[in-house]
Structures are given as C-alpha cells and as structure tokens.
Amino acid sequence: MLKKIYTKNAPEAIGPYSQAILFNELLFSSGQIPVDPATGEVVQGDITAQAEQVMKNVGAVLAEAGTDFEAVIKTTCFLSDMGDFAAFNEVYGRYFTEKPARSCVAVKALPKNVLCEVEVIAAVGK
C-alpha cells in the first residue's frame, strides 16, 4: 500500500510529486533542496549553509514518516559543483552517521539554482 508523506516542516513540492512515498516499510523521498519551509525561499550562503538546510528538510520528512537518519539505507546527492564535495561531505557526515549507501554526482543545474539536493530511501518501523 502506498501512502503519501507530507509535512509543513519541509518545503512544499513545487511540481506534480510528493515529498515522499511510504511503500510497506520503505520510504522513498523526493529530492530536498535548501528551501526554508517557513519562508519558501532558498537559504542564501555557501554549500555548508545550503547543505545544513537540506539536512533539516530531509530530517523533517523522515520524522513525518516515523523514521530518522539512522534508518536511511541509500542516499542520492546532487551537487552543482563537485568542487563543493568536501564541504558538503562534512555536513552530510554529521547527519548520516550510519553510513548508508550513497551516490553523489555533479549536475549541470538544480531547481532554483541551488548548490545541492539530497533524496533518501529509508526503513520505517525498524
């Protein structure tokens, strides 16, 4: 059974998609970008500031689904500049302490010209 996950503590979907979908005991999130859900605006600053907001948004979606960072199985990370990898990785490592599987790629552009985006697959009801 599919269940749409929605929280006002993460940015609204800006297209025809859900923040996340729960399927049985697996959560599949859409990519989270550094938008402050309170203002709807992109957090200004460098990759560190933007990555911190992304992690807050990911955490809010995880919490709404009844899970947390420790239950994340796989992440996919998108960077607009691979030169930001080390700084992004520093923030990422503080949140994903269980070291889930990960892909991290540089892309030509991201929505709203942000510097990073992260999507996750997580276990629910661990």
Catalytic center residues: 104
Provide the 10 A C-beta neighbour count for residue 49: 14
Question: Of 64, 42, 68, which is closest to residue 126 (Cα–Cα)?
Answer: 68
CA distance 33 to 113: 10
DSSP per residue, 2-65: EEEE--TTSPPPSSSS-SEEEETTEEEEPPB-SEETTTTEEPPSSHHHHHHHHHHHHHHHHHHT
